């Protein structure tokens, strides 16, 4: 893991301001929350004043006046309780609305982020931004406003002390300035380390996330101890950084406590001296001493305000990095109407970085009502071509044409609704089989569902499941076998009813019999589709209308199976090798 060092980080101050338009989307609830917060703040100012007057009256034996001030203070307290309840209700509702809006914005931004960015981004870090950072930003602004009202309330009381006795005010003002300096140092330590701490925790969280996600392989490979050690080391690094910050802050906190204790003793000694020299009445001293703790609250609120603001800025920056800085997919504005299914690649070049070149001048044609296969050794560029067809990546140069229209000029819907793909390891969502199908066509009828399940050779298996098509199949279809997952994914793709059907080694987990049935099914579908297959077994594409053979990102041969067997040495050797392997496996099973 990249070594993380605790360095001073200047935090941007503009991202929090970008939150205002999002709050404006819920301006009704926002204004209501502010109204009750202001009302609570005003009552918070009045409450200590009447309380102080009650104490002062009691100290001067004005009992009736003390009772009157006490009743007023109690009435204010009761009203404030009711207002605070309503304020809390509005606050929670506003925060929940903000969390929903921000989560929706972030997930939409992730959905539209280019794959090359997502490929290099840790999933655990994205998950943290979707939860922790969104929650932090959603409520931090309201919390900051609440602290502002708290600061104003205590400032008013400090001014009230100035009204009672200017000398006590000056003493308390000096105390405020000393505490403010101490709290500012403590806040700076926290602020400087917070961003780097979050980064370290993202790395640790991603390690644990991957360990859980790959728990089956962890168990099967007997690597629980090693993988856990790897994850724990990342976690220890994050805790080490956080601990360093906490120790420094705690030291400052102890200094603050010592200053408070010394001040309290000094304040009492000075207060007694003032009373003795008739510089302040005993009643006034009692009032000031009883409420001087609010001066500490003033400094505490100011310090927390800075920390809340920093936390909000850090979280907002991490969110807006996804919303604005992550490079987004770019699509055109032209709709693809009456698409025939013909796709052509002209001199297409591509590399995952600026330096490498995975594809070198590819020329291909995928004809409508035909089955076209792509074969080649691992790493030859087969899957990369499919990624370009779906515009998950953009070609460096050359053209990809759909019915003579450049793919870069077409809308996202035109591309993805017309080109449907299933990969070797398709993702099955943690829902029922039926819901997994309905994701691609929410209004599908039961008859349509049954048809695609039968075509995918999975219908009989589903009928024997406890709840049939409503059976919950776990995260990524964990309750299904590898072959069943692929067949459910095939059914989902067929239900999508795209003009182009793309199979990227999508039958690799199927037995020969099931695979042959899927191939027969595709033969029926090709009368109205363009079918593209990246072959796992060459035996499955012998009847393809055209086969392209790749090697090192280049087309080294093309033609039908018979043509390639005659004219392509590489294809001939690959096919014979597969035949030999299949024969040996058959003989082993027979024995």
- Where a domain ends, among 285, 301, 325? 325
Where residue 46 sits, what CATH number does that domain have? 1.20.1560.10
Question: Do 347 and 319 reside in the same domain of the chain?
Answer: no
State whether 297 and 380 are in the same domain: no
252 and 113 part of one domain: yes
What pLDDT was estimated at residue 318?
85
Q: Are residues 130 and 93 in the same domain?
A: yes
The Cα–Cα gap between 188 and 303 comes to 10
Average confidence score pLDDT of the chain: 84
Of the CA atoms within 13 Å of residue 263, those in its CB half-sphere come to: 21
Same domain, 36 and 157: yes
Question: 546-551 and 530-534: which strand pairing?
Answer: unpaired
Same domain, 306 and 361: no
Q: Report angle CA 12, 15, 18 to the nearest 5 degrees.
A: 160
Would you tell me how many other CB atoms lie within 10 Å of the CB of residue 171?
21
Write the pLDDT tens digit of every residue in 485-505: 888 999 999 999 999 999 988
Within-domain flag for 559: yes
For residues 413 and 419, the answer to whether their CB atoms sit within 8 Å is no
Is pLDDT larger for residue 73 or for residue 220? Answer: 73
Cα 495 from Cα 503, distance rounded (Å): 15
Whether residue 127 lies inside any domain: the answer is: yes
Which of 300, 325, 350 represents a domain boundary (last residue)?
A: 325
Residue that finishes a domain, picked among 274, 298, 325 = 325
Our count of domains for the chain comes to 2
- What's the pLDDT tens digit per position in 246-260? 787 788 878 878 888
Mind listing the pLDDT tens digit for each residue in 221-277?
677 788 788 888 888 888 888 788 778 778 887 887 888 888 888 888 888 888 888
* CATH number of the domain that residue 591 is part of: 3.40.50.300
Residue at 219 is within a domain = no
**What DSSP letter does each residue of 540-553 carry, written as one string?**
GGTT-SEEEEEETT
63 against 555, higher pLDDT: 555
> Both 307 and 383 in a single domain?
no
Specify the pLDDT at position 85: 92
List, for residues 28-59, the tens digit of each pLDDT value: 998 998 899 889 888 877 877 787 778 778 77
- 468 assigned to some structural domain: no
**Does one domain contain both 120 and 183?**
yes
Digit-coded pLDDT (tens) for 52-70: 778 778 777 888 888 998 8
pLDDT tens column, 167-198: 888 888 888 888 888 878 877 777 777 767 77
Strand duo 343-350 + 397-402: pairing: antiparallel
Same domain, 354 and 310: no
| Beta carbons of 252 and 185 less than 8 angstroms apart | yes
Reported for 54-62, long-range contacts at CB under 8 A and 24+ positions apart, including other chains, are 55/283, 55/286, 55/287, 55/290, 56/283, 56/284, 56/286, 56/287, 57/283, 58/283, 59/281, 59/282, 59/283, 59/286, 60/281, 60/283
pTM of the model: 0.76
Could you tell me the residue range of the domain that residue 565 belongs to?
339-417+532-591
Q: Domain for residue 477, yes or no?
A: no
The rounded distance, in Å, linking the Cα atoms of 51 and 270 is 23
Residue 5 forms part of a structural domain: no
Tell whether 290 and 158 lie within a shared domain. Answer: yes
- Would 139 be classed as within a structural domain? yes
Do 38 and 153 have their domain in common? Answer: yes
| In a shared domain, residues 359 and 251 | no
Residue 462 lies in a domain: no
Range with the lowest mean pLDDT among 183-192, 317-326, 432-441? 183-192
Apex CA 342: angle with CA 500 and CA 537, to 5°?
55
């Amino acid at each position: 893991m990249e070594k993380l060092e605790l360095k001073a980080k200047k935090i941007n101050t503009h991202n929090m301001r970008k939150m205002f338009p999002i709050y404006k989307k819920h301006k009704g609830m926002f204004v209501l929350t502010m109204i009750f917060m202001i009302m609570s703040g005003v009552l918070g100012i009045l409450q200590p004043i009447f309380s102080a007057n009650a104490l002062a009256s009691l100290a001067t034996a004005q009992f009736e006046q003390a009772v009157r001030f006490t009743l007023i203070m109690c009435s204010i307290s009761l009203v404030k309780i009711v207002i605070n309840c309503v304020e809390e209700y509005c606050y929670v509702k506003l925060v929940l609305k903000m969390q929903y809006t921000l989560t929706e914005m972030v997930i939409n931004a992730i959905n539209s982020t280019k794959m090359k960015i997502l490929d290099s981004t840790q999933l655990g870090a994205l998950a943290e931004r979707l939860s922790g950072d969104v929650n932090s930003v959603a409520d931090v602004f309201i919390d900051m406003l609440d602290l502002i009202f708290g600061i104003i309330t205590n400032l008013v009381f400090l001014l009230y002390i100035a009204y009672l006795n200017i000398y006590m005010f000056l003493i308390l003002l000096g105390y405020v300035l000393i505490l403010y300096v101490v709290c500012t140092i403590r806040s700076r330590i926290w602020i400087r380390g917070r961003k780097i701490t979050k980064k370290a925790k993202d790395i640790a969280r991603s390690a644990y996330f991957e360990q859980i996600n790959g728990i089956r392989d962890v168990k099967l490979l007997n690597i629980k101890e090693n993988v856990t050690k790897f994850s724990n080391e990342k976690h220890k690094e994050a805790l080490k950084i956080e601990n360093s910050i906490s120790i420094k802050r705690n030291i400052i906190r102890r200094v603050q406590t010592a200053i408070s204790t010394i001040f309290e003793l000094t304040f009492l000694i000075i207060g007694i001296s003032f009373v003795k020299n008739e510089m302040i009445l005993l009643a006034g001293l009692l009032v000031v001493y009883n409420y001087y703790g609010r001066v500490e609250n003033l400094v505490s609120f100011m310090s927390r305000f800075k920390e809340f603001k920093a936390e909000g800025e850090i979280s907002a920056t991490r969110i807006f990095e996804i919303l604005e800085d992550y490079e987004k997919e770019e699509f055109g504005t032209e709709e693809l109407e009456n698409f025939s299914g013909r796709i052509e690649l002209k001199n297409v070049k591509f590399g995952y970085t600026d330096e490498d070149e995975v594809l070198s001048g590819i020329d291909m044609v995928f004809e409508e009502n035909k089955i076209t296969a792509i074969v080649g050794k691992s790493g030859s560029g087969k899957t990369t071509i499919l990624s370009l067809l779906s515009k998950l990546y953009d070609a460096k140069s050359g053209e990809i044409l759909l019915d003579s229209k450049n793919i870069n000029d077409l809308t996202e819907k035109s591309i993805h609704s017309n080109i449907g793909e299933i990969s070797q390891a398709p993702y099955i969502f943690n829902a029922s089989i039926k819901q997994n199908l309905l994701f691609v066509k929410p209004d599908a009828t039961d008859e349509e569902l049954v048809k695609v399940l039968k075509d995918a050779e999975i219908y009989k298996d589903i009928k024997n499941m406890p709840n049939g098509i409503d059976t919950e199949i776990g995260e990524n279809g964990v309750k299904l076998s590898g072959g069943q997952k692929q067949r459910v994914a095939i059914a989902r793709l067929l239900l999508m009813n795209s003009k182009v059907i793309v199979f990227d080694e999508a039958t690799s987990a199927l037995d020969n019999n099931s695979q042959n049935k899927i191939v027969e099914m595709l033969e029926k579908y090709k009368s109205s589709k363009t079918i593209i297959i990246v072959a796992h077994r060459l035996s499955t594409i012998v009847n393809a209308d055209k086969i392209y053979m790749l090697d090192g990102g280049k087309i080294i041969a093309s033609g039908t199976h018979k043509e390639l067997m005659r004219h392509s040495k590489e294809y001939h050797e690959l096919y014979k090798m597969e035949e030999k392997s299949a024969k040996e496996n058959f003989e082993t099973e027979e024995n």
